[in-house]
Chain A
Amino acid sequence: MVSGLINANPVVYERKERRIRDPVAHADEFPYKWYMHADIKDPEHPYSLEELKVVTEDAVEVDDKHSHVRVTFTPTVEHCSMATVIGLCLRVKLMRSLPSRYKVDIKVAPGTHATEAAVNKQLNDKERVAAALENPNLVEMVDQCLTPTYA
């Protein structure tokens, strides 16, 4: 991924202060919700999704009572072909961290992607997700993004 970046010069924002340093260890404590996503690395850049404002605190809604999580993310550019990979990273992170009773919906923020409906449909089709996660190349990519970048 050295050449041909989808977005060669992304705007990088500051990271928010963390109260919880190890989000996974504190996964049972609410509100841990947002830190988990903030530290996911962008597939293209050495920045976190938080630093690129792909995922913000407001974009993760947790309804503990109904065991429902809704994540809305904002690709850095409208034609970002990495959108499905980012969405997959978010889903895998949630699958690995959340108790299994949670239902997760992941969506691109309205109006921020050229093929919004197609991306959303694919990310929320669990059969497609299951098949994707049996693809070693894709899993390697996702795992790289999920490697903790900050202690």
Chain B
Amino acid sequence: MDLFEGNLELKEIQKLEGHTDRVWSLAWNPTTGVSGIPAMLASCSGDKTVRIWQQNGHSWECKAILDETHTRTVRSCAWSPSGKLLATASFDATTAIWENVGGDFECVATLEGHENEVKSVSWNASGSLLATCSRDKSVWIWEVMPGNEFECVSVLQGHTQDVKMVQWHPNMDILFSCSYDNTIKIWAEDGDSDDWHCVQTISEANNGHSSTVWALSFNSKGDRMVTCSDDLTLKIWESDSKTTSPVGDGYAPWIHVSTLSGYHDRTIFSVHWSREGIIASGAADDAIRFFIENKDGLIDGPSYKLLLKKEKAHDMDVNSVQWISKETRLLASASDDGTIKIWELASLP
């Protein structure tokens, strides 16, 4: 796929307006955008609402506004793998679960327990577990029960400051969390006991970040991870994917591969790895950048290079960048300017 070497441009397809405050986070419905099903995107905002956007031909329309449930900022949203449920995490200390019933979204459950702001929510690959994290420094794991019941199965303590994001591994039940305490923690379940514990902490002492870690994302195979930080760097990590057992002697720790520095000028809030291997990052410098693995210089181990930079992608900070999960080069970005933009990474003729 030598398209990477060609001239690429980031084409703005559409600007989605409607939120009345900063847009924090985005999530593409993973079951849409294929087989003639129009692509669906959820966005959440400081205006306390969630909006559902749907592709209609060549344009996107707001199909639903999910309001009057969260009483404060909605910080993060995530679709279940089946695309039927949407989880939303709010500064009001709750996580809401919404069910898509024929295009209408009903709040079917509210998960309470965190002491204060919930900052992120993530479903595992099978949709059987949900993770949430909060300024209260804890990470909670919830089991999805029949009848839209959610039971907390573990409260994970370990971070010393608020936890910014939780993200499940794309094909193993291993949970990753990153924090204001500058670390990334990796959590796995004990073989027999249903107990979750921290199996690895990546801190500055082992090539980790020197300030808040805001987000992380995995490549499609799940053997590499990228993290982004207030320290203005992106870091690439690798684990031996041949190992299937996440705990005990079989646990393959994540090892630092590469640090991408000198690109962003201000805090990097979001990073997302596309299925075909392009890393997108969005930052407080209003720019979106794209990186790919540099296949030329394998002698010194893997390295990554800047593929494309889009200055002034938004009028203000870029808070979220999300590739559509399918084999097209569509990307959505969300900003403090209250807008969402749909982009296509296109080859120049």
| A103 & B91 in contact (Cβ 8 Å cutoff) | no
Q: Complex: how many Å from CA A127 to CA B164? A: 9
CA distance A121 to B336 in the complex (A): 20
Which residues of the other chain, B, contact A100 by a CB distance below 8 angstroms?
315-316, 336-337
Q: Which residues of chain B from 289 to 327 have any CB-CB distance to chain A below 8 Å in the complex?
A: 315-317
- Interface magnitude class on chain B: 20 to 34
**In the complex, A98 Cα to B44 Cα: how many Å?**
25
B1-54 interface (Cβ within 8 A of A): 22, 46
Q: Are the CB atoms of A130 and B73 closer together than 8 Å?
A: yes
Residues of A within 8 A of B162 (CB): 128
Knowing A100-B315, A100-B337, say if A131 contacts B211 (CB, 8 Å). Answer: no
Q: Taking the complex as formed, is B332 at the interface, i.e. its CB lies under 8 A from any CB of chain A? A: no
Q: Which residue of B lies closest to A134 (CB)?
A: B72
Instruction: Pick from A101, A103, A121, A131: contact of B135, CB below 8 A.
Output: A131
Shortest Cβ gap from A90 to chain B (Å): 18
Is B89 an interface residue, CB under 8 A from the partner?
Answer: no
Q: Is the interface of A mostly helix, strand, loop or mixed?
A: helix
A96 interfacial by beta-carbon distance below 8 Å: no
Asked whether, in the complex, the Cβ of A125 is within 8 Å of the Cβ of B180, the reply is yes
Bound complex: CA A126 to CA B230 (Å): 11
Say yes or no: B212 contacts A131, CB within 8 Å: no
What distance in Å separates the Cβ of A65 from its nearest Cβ neighbour in chain B? 14
Given the known interface contacts A103-B266, A121-B211, A125-B180, the answer about A130 and B317 at a Cβ–Cβ threshold of 8 Å is no
Q: Using Cβ atoms and an 8 Å threshold, which residues of chain B touch A130?
A: 22, 46, 73, 91
- Distance of A121 Cα from B209 Cα, bound (Å): 14
Known A-B contacts A103-B266, A103-B284; the reply to A134 vs B316 at CB < 8 A is: no
Count residues of A near B (Cβ-Cβ below 8 Å). 11
Q: From residue 109 to 136 of chain A, which have CB atoms closer than 8 A to chain B?
A: 121, 125-128, 130-131, 134
Bound-complex Cα distance A125 to B162 (A) = 11
From B117, which residue of chain A is reached at the shortest CB distance?
A131
Closest to A105 in B: B266
Secondary structure at the B interface, as helix, strand, loop or mixed, is loop
**Cβ–Cβ contact B73 & A131, under 8 A:** yes
CB-defined contacts of A127 to chain B, threshold 8 Å: 75, 119, 164
| Distance A130 CA – B46 CA, assembled complex (angstroms) | 8
Given A121-B212, A125-B180, residue A101 in contact with residue B315 (CB < 8 A): yes
- Rounded to whole angstroms, the CA-CA distance of A39 and B212 in the bound complex is 33
Nearest-neighbour CB distance to chain B for A97, whole angstroms, equals 16
Residues of B within 8 A of A128 (CB): 135, 162, 180
Q: Is the CB of A131 within 8 A of B91?
A: yes
Q: How far is the CB of A110 from chain B (nearest CB, A)?
A: 18
In the complex, what distance in Å separates the CA atom of A127 from the CA atom of B267?
12
Distance between Cα atoms of A100 and B316 in the complex (Å):
7
A121 vs B229: C-alpha distance when bound (angstroms): 13
- Chain B residues 119-147 with CB under 8 Å of chain A are 119, 135
What is the chain B residue whose CB lies nearest that of A66? B265
Residues on the A chain within 8 Å of B212, using CB = 121, 125
How far is A100 from B46 in the complex, measured between Cα atoms in Å? 16
Q: How far is the CA of A87 from the CA of B53 in the complex (A)?
A: 38
Residues of the B chain whose Cβ atoms lie less than 8 Å from the Cβ of A134: 72-73, 91
A103 CA / B314 CA spacing, docked (Å)? 13
Q: Which residue on A lies nearest to B265, using beta carbons? A: A103
Residues of A contacting B317 with CB < 8 Å? 126
Residues of A near B135 (CB, < 8 A) are: 128, 131
Chain B residues within 8 Å of A121, by CB: 180, 211-212
Closest beta carbon of chain A to B210's beta carbon, Å: 11
Listed A/B pairs (6) with beta-carbon separation below 8 Å: A100-B336, A100-B337, A121-B180, A126-B317, A127-B164, A131-B73
Query: Assuming A100-B336, A100-B337, A126-B317, what are 16 further A-B pairs, CB within 8 angstroms?
Result: A101-B316, A103-B284, A103-B285, A125-B230, A127-B75, A127-B119, A127-B164, A128-B162, A128-B180, A130-B73, A130-B91, A131-B73, A131-B91, A131-B117, A134-B72, A134-B91
